[in-house]
Amino acid sequence: MNKRKVIEKVMLGVISSLAIVSAIPIFAIVINIYSEGARHLTLDFLIDLPPPPVGGRDGGIGPALIGSLILTSLAVAIGGSIGFFTGLYLSEFSHTRLAQYTQMSLQIMVEFPTIIIGLFAYMILVAPLKRFNALAGAFALSIVIIPYIALNVREAYRSIPYTLKEAAFSLGVSAPTAYLRILLGTAKRGVLTALLIGMAKAAGETAPLLLTILGTTFTYFGGLDQPINAIPLLIYNFALSPYERWHQVAWGAAAALLTIILTIFIISRLMVREVKI
């Protein structure tokens, strides 16, 4: 009798410790990044041009920040529309063959190494245009986020109680109206969460941008057919450089990115909360 109790206490202790260990890194990461980078987060830093490797002024992440904003908005616009309607289709027409194939495709897309998506975007948009360009980067990002948005939108619509759906259709309105105006109201929170998840992903991904946008030093935005910079790319480049000043900029950029991700995350959690019926 006693032996089993002892084993129980030990195992529960082991499980708890392991669980806590697995949660430690996130706290360590957030603390480390803010302790190294938060001091750089001034308005100047967010708008200024990057500093030269040595000498000169302190500089900032202006072009990268604007670039990220543009790329993310574009990616969410493209990936969000495709993802939304795909998710809607999956939810309401789940019995069709196409739905099953699409479901499988999305599952495969989620697990795709993002560098391969970058290769694809390079082949389709960079090589023919003969220039590194922002559109290729946005395109690659949108491919990355389509499965996340689609699967979440599908859940959002699937979880609408059947009674509500029946009621919507019994009103005698057309299908588009039913799905997009009436039922969307109920699914709104789920859909917005999906878009926020997509936004967070698009803001943070690097590999799709590595082969497509090149990066810029002075240019905030030169046009969709020109190179552009982005915060994750800047972090990657500056972190691997040997210049202490660029390391500092990388930490600052990481702090900025982390703040953006945390904000999006908190907003999406707060929204989901209110759904509790």
Partner 1 sequence: MRTSTKLVITIVVIAVLISIFMLSSWHTPTQQPITTYTATITSTPTTVPLSGMINGAGASFLNPQMQAWASRFYEITGGRIQINYQSIGSGAGQAKFKEGILDFAGSDPPLKSDIYNEFKGKGGIIQFPVIIGTIVVVHNIPNVESGKLRLTGEVVAKIYMGEIVYWDDPAIKVLNPELNLPHEKVIAVHRSDGSGTTRVFTAYLSKVSETWRSKVGSDFTVAWPVDEIGNGVGAKGNEGVSAAVQQNPYSIGYIETAYAYSAGLKIALLRNADGNYVLPTKEAVASAAKALVKVLPRAYEDWSHIFPDETVDPPGRESYPLTSFSFVILRQVYEDPVKNAILKEFFEWVLTEGQKPENIVEGYEPLPPEVAVIGLDGLKLLRTG
Partner 2 sequence: MSSEKIFSIFLIAFASISLLIVTGIVISLIVNSYPIFLMDSLSFIFKSVWNPVKEDYGILPALLGTLITSAIAISISTPLAISLAVFSTEILPMRFREFINNISDLMASLPSVIYGLWGLYVLAPILYQYVMIPLHQYLGFIPLFSTKPIPTNLFTAGVLLAIMIVPFASSVIREAYSAVPYYLKEAAYSLGMTKWEVIKTMLGYIKSAIFAGIFLALGRAMGETMAVAMVVGNTFTLPKSLFDMGYTISSLIANQFPNAEAYNHMIPALYGGAFILFIVGLTMNLAGLYWIKKVMSKG
Q: Considering only residues 71-100, where is the footprint of partner 1 by CB under 8 A?
A: 73-74, 76-77, 80, 84
Position among 200, 213, 228, 249 found at the interface with partner 2 (CB under 8 A): 200
Q: Which is nearer to partner 2, 57 or 129 (CB)?
A: 129
Q: Could you tell me how many residues make up the chain?
A: 277
CB 215, min distance to partner 1, A: 5
Question: What is the C-alpha to C-alpha distance for residues 156 and 183, in angstroms, rounded to an integer?
Answer: 10
Half-sphere exposure of 192 (CA within 13 A, CB side): 18
- Verify binding: residue 207, partner 2, rule CB under 8 A: yes
Task: Tell me: does residue 180 bind partner 1 (CB under 8 A).
Answer: yes
For partner 2, the closer of residues 57 and 123 by Cβ is 123
Site for partner 2 in 167-196 (CB under 8 A): 174-176, 179
Angle at 81 between CA 101 and CA 269, to 5 degrees: 95
Choice between 23 and 123, CB closer to partner 1: 123
Minimum CB–partner distance for residue 190 and partner 2 (Å): 15
| Alpha-carbon gap, residue 254 to 241, rounded angstroms | 15
| Cα first-last separation, the chain | 45
Whole-Å CA distances, 74 to 32, 68, 213, 223: 31, 10, 14, 13
**How distant, in Å, are the alpha carbons of 63, 178, 210, 229, 271 from that of 237?**
14, 48, 10, 11, 35
Which window, 52-60, 69-77, 85-93, 182-190, contacts partner 2 (CB under 8 A)?
85-93
> Is the torsion defined by CA of 146, 211, 68, 31 positive or negative?
positive
- Which part of the chain contacts partner 2 (CB under 8 A), choosing from 43-51, 57-65, 119-127, 162-170? 119-127
Per partner kind, with CB cut-offs from 5 to 8 A, the member of partner 2, partner 1, none near residue 161 is none
Residues in region 189-228 near partner 1 by CB under 8 A? 191-192, 195, 214-222, 226-227
Calpha distance 215→227 (Å, rounded): 6
Assess contact for 38 and 54: CB atoms under 8 A: no
Residue 100 engages partner 2 in binding (rule: CB under 8 A): no
Residues in contact with partner 1 by the rule CB under 8 A = 52-56, 62, 66, 69-70, 73-74, 76-77, 80, 84, 126-127, 130-132, 180-181, 184-185, 188, 191-192, 195, 214-222, 226-227, 237, 240-243
